[in-house]
Structure 1
């Protein structure tokens, strides 16, 4: 019986240094608001929200026929019920929402295609045929096979419908969120009353955001915040009678105080540089918040060669912790592995705080060591389908809960503030090869190396440009290196590669006190006898690298 052909390994992409952030966003609470301020904000948000809903409907109706002329027509219609600047912000938000829906539609189509392909392949195999690590086998029973034939027809119908919608430019958007809309029919499961749901739904559909304008007073003509903390908004035309300041403006009683990046924000506002603002209502805490954002020049990334100098820290991302290990420039693990744990159960604020705390500890360690950080370029978009993993619900839930996108974005942003480079590597085979080549050698009586720790070593070595495996050639048969150095060790020009092992302080036997000075470097006895001594050959500790 002929052996099945092994699937060739996929090409591994070269590592690269991640680009720094291009924008800044800070948030604070609107304190000291009076009941009148609260009423005005609610009225303005509800009025502009209704206009945003109508404009988004018109943008979706234009689909692929959208042009500059239709944009101008929509903006002119909105200006009569608001203002020119409010109309510009609303139309821009509609365009961004439509583009986001198109990207989500494409991702959904790709997921459906992967599911159809997997089911069709498994249905073509005999019932009960075993699969392999690289390809799934047939279904276990005739009952499951029949159920999957029906599911295949369902997925094919969905795929055909989505493809036709994409060809026609049709997208399905819910202002306020589809999840919140569905909760209206499952209030008990969502632990909400009808009144609470209505309050959340209205708050999510309000619109109170304005783009910045360079050269205008305080960088924004619609929502203006002065350097001393005074805030005011431009009222839409139907609500101009509520103004308490000239030119149809309403000045809030409360004061703004940005604790994070406050000085940077004040410098921009004082120089009349563009700052975008968004006012939103937090239903859970019953408070109004203000978010300020602006663009910054891209952070100049260091070359890859400079990021590799002195070694780096390889980080393996997991569902509940980050497994990190410090490597030198030759790819050798140094010290002990470290784990930075986080808990992703609970509210979104709690999960976000856990991620930030774990990354803060990791970055402080990297700054003390003076090295870069290596991470994987993970993307589980095509790996979460139940068609791929079948009954492995626990594994699907595991990879679905890994905040890879949030970790990557926050790590790059926080590392840029500390001047730490982030090297991104291809995630192919890092866990498998790390466990194969590094887990057992790095395990000792006093240290239990996990598969995740070994993966961190593999990630770090790939970022340094070395192979993952420790050695690729055995020593010569005569116990010498006359044929040259091993291909996975330090080159002949690496300093210290032939150096002796570091001296361990203290005596070699228990009969001598710990403070006794060691006088000999060998273990030969003091008394010389006429007996030939056979000294066992010991391999010196060499640096392992290409």
Structure 2
């Protein structure tokens, strides 16, 4: 007999921590020509300083220290100010660190690809794979092409490791994607002048870190509670100031419609608030983004999150499949689907995700639950070309699912609605959900999909119940002869000793179901001296149906 597949250990569900930061944005409307000219001059000047500082930081590599940081900041202070220099050096260091982490992730991806190729090349051509390891390649031609790819990946891996050990990174101020568009202007439907305008705007630098205890939480870019925006001009541009102490006050006023009260409380109390001025060259508009950190908040205990039921959510390439469950793990009502379209630009995709999540959260509030269960997805190691081979469509499918952005947005948006997010292990949820829940939840007027059943499985796992709907019946030497019973209620459940609901259909030829003399006496119906509910094979959840 073939060995059964060994199931991997299922991780325990946990409550996802809340957001640690907040960002709001408003448009800088009704700017005068002089306002726009001053913003351009400041952005260009500070952008040149930021580019120069990034080049110095990249040359330092692993030799960076607090002393070299201080030297860089001191060199920039004379051409800007102490606070502008601090913001530039901090942003430069964060950009270098991000590139460093991306290089490490690239190395790990190359190592996984090399291991997979070496294993499959070592297998005979045409050998079938197993559940634990893939087999050989299908033909000699494919084997030859993969052997060439192995040499290519090994060369890339060696070069990446050398760069990692030397501390070299690849950074493009303005974005590598926008840089590559320069060679495909026709496909992007842009002229050279339009591209140049976007490229220069992305390389500008107009952001300042907040300072607690300073006036309105920021001395460099200051926004008063009534919306007045003023900027501390760098030393070479001090002649453009229209206010005392080398400041320039914009003619417009800002008003943050979202989280405006929270922002006003912060600036009134002189708490640190960071600002960033951004120019959208495509629309020709200026925007101001305010951001601040929130204190660490203790997450809700998972028992408290489960107290009012749960909504299980299955993430798919084009929709969220959601199902409501009560505290015992029983599905309530019917499935709900929240579609979205992930085609088009990045802004369109992000708007689609936010719109779908908004509808999901509003529905959760209407149902009165306090938590949403979602799979703890991470496809970083599951979408490689070597692992899935010629399954290009499948690789594109999982690559298009915004798992990282989804988790970040869902946690931050749910916190505003007072909802907790419970992350569960995604192992076997689709398989077991379809096996145990798809058919029972399908009726003449309701079609339950595999994704809806997976949502039920996710919700039950978050509630601490097993996904399986039925338990094994009693042994043959006990009553009912391995009969019809489903999972039993726990000993603390109210009403567990009450009369069972009537089962339609004839029981015998003479006495119909539910009409016998002992129909309401469970002990009389039982052949032994004890009720079936007192047996040792009970399960800690209420039955779905009897």
Indicate if the aligned counterparts of 1:28 and 1:290 stay in contact, CA closer than 8 A: yes
2:423 aligned residue = 424
Change in CA separation of 1:409 and 1:489 when aligned onto 2, cut-off 3 Å: farther
SS in 2 for 1:439: coil
CA distance in 2, matches of 1:94, 1:488: 60
Of the candidates 295, 306, 309, which is equivalent to residue 307 of structure 2? Answer: 309
1:178 aligned residue = 176
Of the candidates 275, 279, 302, which is equivalent to residue 277 of structure 2? Answer: 279
1:200 aligned residue = 198
Most deviating of 437-446 and 453-462: 437-446
Change in CA separation of 1:441 and 1:221 when aligned onto 2, cut-off 3 Å: same
* Displacement of 1:444: 2.2
* Displacement of 1:403: 1.4
Of the candidates 116, 122, 125, which is equivalent to residue 124 of structure 1? Answer: 122
* Displacement of 1:362: 1.3
SS in 2 for 1:373: strand
CA distance in 2, matches of 1:348, 1:501: 56
Q: Which runs of 5+ in 1 are unaligned?
A: 504-520, 525-530
CA distance in 2, matches of 1:200, 1:475: 72
* Displacement of 1:350: 2.2
1:373 aligned residue = 372
1:36 aligned residue = 34
1:352 aligned residue = 350
SS in 1 for 2:437: helix
Indicate if the aligned counterparts of 2:15 and 2:300 stay in contact, CA closer than 8 A: yes
1:213 aligned residue = 211
Indicate if the aligned counterparts of 2:433 and 2:456 stay in contact, CA closer than 8 A: yes
Indicate if the aligned counterparts of 1:52 and 1:94 stay in contact, CA closer than 8 A: yes
2:385 aligned residue = 386
Most deviating of 307-316 and 274-283: 307-316
Indicate if the aligned counterparts of 2:476 and 2:482 stay in contact, CA closer than 8 A: no
CA distance in 1, matches of 2:122, 2:214: 66
* Displacement of 1:314: 0.7
Q: What is the alpha-carbon root mean square deviation over aligned residues?
A: 2.7
CA distance in 1, matches of 2:346, 2:273: 26
CA distance in 2, matches of 1:124, 1:148: 11
Change in CA separation of 1:457 and 1:479 when aligned onto 2, cut-off 3 Å: farther
Indicate if the aligned counterparts of 2:474 and 2:483 stay in contact, CA closer than 8 A: no
SS in 1 for 2:127: coil
2:511 aligned residue = 533
Is 1:439 aligned to residue 434 of structure 2?
no
2:331 aligned residue = 333
2:257 aligned residue = 259
* Displacement of 1:300: 3.4
CA distance in 2, matches of 1:452, 1:103: 34
CA distance in 1, matches of 2:9, 2:402: 26
1:404 aligned residue = 403
2:290 aligned residue = 292
CA distance in 2, matches of 1:319, 1:208: 37
CA distance in 2, matches of 1:430, 1:398: 18
Change in CA separation of 1:489 and 1:66 when aligned onto 2, cut-off 3 Å: farther
* Displacement of 1:476: 4.7
2:142 aligned residue = 144
SS in 1 for 2:542: coil
* Displacement of 1:132: 4.0
CA distance in 2, matches of 1:381, 1:83: 42
Most deviating of 442-451 and 62-71: 442-451
Misfit runs of 4+, over 6 Å: 481-487, 521-524, 536-542
CA distance in 1, matches of 2:488, 2:328: 8
CA distance in 2, matches of 1:354, 1:495: 44
Indicate if the aligned counterparts of 1:53 and 1:175 stay in contact, CA closer than 8 A: yes
CA distance in 1, matches of 2:448, 2:476: 31
The alignment of Structure 1 onto Structure 2 pairs a total of residues equal to 521
CA distance in 1, matches of 2:476, 2:513: 18
CA distance in 1, matches of 2:323, 2:61: 50
CA distance in 2, matches of 1:490, 1:14: 23
Indicate if the aligned counterparts of 2:17 and 2:299 stay in contact, CA closer than 8 A: yes
CA distance in 2, matches of 1:300, 1:486: 42
2:151 aligned residue = 153
SS in 1 for 2:68: helix
Indicate if the aligned counterparts of 2:321 and 2:451 stay in contact, CA closer than 8 A: yes
1:527 aligned residue = none
SS in 2 for 1:329: coil
Of the candidates 165, 177, 188, which is equivalent to residue 186 of structure 2? Answer: 188
CA distance in 2, matches of 1:497, 1:56: 70
Indicate if the aligned counterparts of 1:316 and 1:455 stay in contact, CA closer than 8 A: yes
Change in CA separation of 1:522 and 1:358 when aligned onto 2, cut-off 3 Å: closer
Indicate if the aligned counterparts of 2:505 and 2:513 stay in contact, CA closer than 8 A: no
* Displacement of 1:398: 1.0
* Displacement of 1:343: 1.3
1:507 aligned residue = none
Change in CA separation of 1:139 and 1:482 when aligned onto 2, cut-off 3 Å: closer
* Displacement of 1:497: 4.0
CA distance in 2, matches of 1:296, 1:380: 29
Most deviating of 376-385 and 466-475: 466-475
CA distance in 2, matches of 1:492, 1:482: 23
SS in 1 for 2:249: strand
CA distance in 1, matches of 2:470, 2:407: 32
* Displacement of 1:349: 2.5
Superposition TM-score, scaled by structure 1 size: 0.90
Could you list the per-position Cα deviations for residues 16-45 of structure 1 after superposition, in whole angstroms to 9, with x for gaps in the alignment? Answer: 111111111000000111111111111111
